[in-house]
């Protein structure tokens, strides 16, 4: 069983929880820092097992691969929005998976899937896990793949709660406040490092809100904004 991942700088791509689970992550920049903290201290909680099923914590902003060596089970899980792809294929009784499609296709010499290609060209997306290659599938948003190493059994579960109905009554002003706080929290997570950050704006209204959110966070002294961006920010005020 080979298990790997990628990381930034001197950080480790693989982690081991205090319960002995080996895991790797792929997602927004904050996830790599959270993975290190989760492995050492158990928080912020990235994932947990409930009735032997993998569940995501709210701090998991990306995909996770978890190896349960005790039970010889591999879990692959995608975050609820589906922003980060995760591809997989079964080969000779084993499982290969990757965040990148073309390298995986080269390894197994996958044949193009005309239906998948037409789907992508027409709708800018593939449906039901289809890809542009016949032998390769993609985990959809909020899905969990479970591969039992001994029996070679594979199954896919839905773990997302994003599609559930929201039954509580919330006033619009309160809802707007919650959304803005969550948005600012996301910006803050991605800026929690000593690295230099850049925000490239196309001039759309959403980028104006990004600049507004950055305005409430300490930014390096050499921070600059173009007149076009500043006019968008002013219009959002």
The pLDDT tens digits of the residues spanning 68-96 come to 888 899 999 888 877 889 999 998 888 99
In this structure, the number of other CB atoms found within 10 A of the CB of residue 53 comes to: 12
Strand segments, DSSP code E, in the chain are: 15-16, 22-27, 47-50, 53-56, 62-68, 73-77, 87-91, 94-98, 137-138, 143-148, 153-158
Mean pLDDT of 164-172: 65
Yes or no: say if 63 and 78 are a contact pair by the CB < 8 Å rule: yes
Record the pTM: 0.74
Residue showing tokens 């904004």:
225
Q: Alpha helices, DSSP H only, in 129-168?
A: none
Whole-angstrom Cα Rg for the chain: 20
Name the residue ranges covered by the structural domains of the chain: 15-158, 172-236
Q: Give dist(CA 95, CA 44) in Å, integer.
A: 29
Other beta carbons less than 10 A from residue 232's beta carbon: 22
Of the pLDDT bands very low, low, confident and very high (cuts 50, 70, 90), residue 195 is: low
Which segment of 6-15, 83-92, 94-103, 118-127 scores lowest on mean pLDDT?
A: 6-15
In whole angstroms, give the CA distance from residue 163 to residue 123: 21
Residues paired with residue 15 on neighbouring β-strands, in sequence order: 23
Q: What are phi and psi of 150, to 5 degrees?
A: -75, -45
Residue 230 reports pLDDT greater than 50? no
- Residue matched to tokens 């993975």: 35
Cα distance between residue 232 and residue 75, in whole Å: 43
Question: Is the pLDDT score of 202 beyond 90?
Answer: no
Q: Tell me, what's the pLDDT at 137?
A: 94
What is the model's pLDDT at position 236?
Answer: 38
Helix (H), strand (E) at residue 156: strand 153-158
The Cα–Cα gap between 153 and 49 comes to: 19
CA distance 209 to 204: 9
């Amino acid at each position: 069983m080979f298990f790997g991942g990628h990381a930034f700088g001197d950080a480790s791509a693989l982690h081991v929880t205090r319960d002995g689970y080996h895991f790797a992550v792929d997602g927004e920049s904050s996830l790599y820092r959270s993975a290190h903290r989760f492995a050492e201290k158990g928080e912020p909680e990235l994932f947990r097992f409930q009735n032997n099923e993998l569940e995501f914590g709210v701090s998991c902003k990306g995909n996770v691969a978890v190896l349960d060596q005790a039970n010889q089970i591999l879990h692959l899980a995608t975050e609820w929005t589906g922003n980060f792809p995760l591809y997989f294929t079964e080969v000779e009784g084993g499982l290969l998976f990757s965040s990148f499609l073309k390298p995986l296709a080269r390894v197994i010499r996958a044949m193009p899937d005309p239906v998948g290609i037409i789907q992508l060209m027409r709708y800018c997306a593939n449906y039901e896990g289809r890809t542009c290659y016949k032998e390769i599938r993609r985990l959809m948003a909020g899905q969990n793949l479970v591969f039992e190493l001994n029996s070679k059994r594979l199954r896919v579960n839905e773990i997302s709660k994003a599609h559930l109905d929201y039954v509580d009554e919330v006033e619009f002003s309160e809802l707007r406040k919650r959304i803005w706080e969550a948005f600012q929290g996301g910006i803050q997570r991605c800026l929690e490092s000593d690295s230099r950050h850049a925000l490239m704006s196309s001039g759309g209204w959403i980028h104006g809100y990004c600049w507004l959110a950055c305005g409430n966070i300490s930014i390096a002294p050499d921070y600059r904004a173009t007149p076009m961006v500043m006019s968008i920010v002013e219009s959002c005020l």
